[in-house]
Structure 1
Amino acid sequence: MEMVGQAFELPREGQVRRYVAAFRCPNEECRQLSIGEGTQPSDATSFSASRDLIWTPVEVDRPPFPDVPEQIAAVATEAHACLSFQAHRAAVALARAVVEATAKTKGVTSGTLMQKIDELHKKGHIRDFTKAAAHAVREGGNEIAHGDLIADEMPPEDAKSIVNLMDGILREVFQDPAQMQALAKSSEGRRRRSNP
């Protein structure tokens, strides 16, 4: 990891100096930024990416979403990354946007998001449980999207549940049908080869 800029000293705790600095991954494919926090002896004049560093975020979750339209998949991946950074409201707002974009790709373009979800269900794109999940994502996202911010922060477990529900919606609308289509195509190919 390469340090970006300079290290900043945190308030002292005894004789040990604590520093925090930004680091960038040197891998050209990655270039991810992380925050490193660590301790150095009081006579330290430099700060390097050593073993005693605590990295934030510890790990960034960026799952791929195969068979999902590229723009929707990118936003879904970003929602997961937001969870890694404890940006819970952002994750939920993005999950809501994913649900709305999903409806639009299925030709459901008018009405409120509530109406779009109900129409997705009516057209057979989602089952009863997934409809309820989509409404849960919508309701969580509405707290943020419409400025109805409440005094309490979004609990991490709620944000994670909402993003997981988003994943289920993508699986049902895009991924499961694509997987079934690939399986049917493979099965048909085997049948043709066994009966020339």
Structure 2
Amino acid sequence: MLTLLHTSPLHVPVFDALRDQDHPGVTLRHLVHEDLLARAMAEGPQAVAADVAAVLAGAVAEGASAVLCTCSSVGGVAEAAAVELGVPVLRVDRPMAAAAAACDRVVVVATVRSTFEPTAALIREEAAGRAVDLRTLFVEGAWERLEAGDRDGYLDAVAAAVDTVREADVIVLAQASMTDAADRTTTAVPVLSSPRPGLRAAVEAAAEAVAAGS
């Protein structure tokens, strides 16, 4: 079983839809812990590391063969917990970061400031020492729109910010919640999002873990 750890209930239908499109028949179990993001935003990702590890341990105890963390703010601490768990723990943005790291000029767009540091660190890690010109763009007020239930306003704000980017080889949408904004942009710069490649990697990891244990 593949378990997904979310910090927003809004991610659940996104990944269910991707599963139906790309991986029919795969069973997903969703865990939503909004408190983890709230604390990570206020205190930093390391402040929730122990709680994330506890949630993941519970998921493994309940039969998870792999876990996908869909929150970019806590993805790093989730991934680090895999050493103690004995099952793959993937962060949803790693495949996206690997694609971005192949480019020279990268702009990371986010609506939550706590996302910038782990996303930038991941891109640099995937670049493996190659110099990358990495810039960030914060979408002011967008997250508050999403929290208020204005998803269209949220996506429009993200798309408008993306369309202001100049002199970039690729634009990274740092949060899974931003994915659909890519369809609302007019930019000619490639726009990357994490859910589809992240879910693909997790499905493959879960299948490999099951095969190895059989």
Relative to the length of structure 2, the TM-score reads 0.26
Greater fraction of residues in helix: 2
- When Rg is computed on C-alpha atoms for both structures, the one with the higher figure is 1
Give the structure, 1 or 2, with the largest relative contact order (CA under 8 Å, sep 6 or more): 2
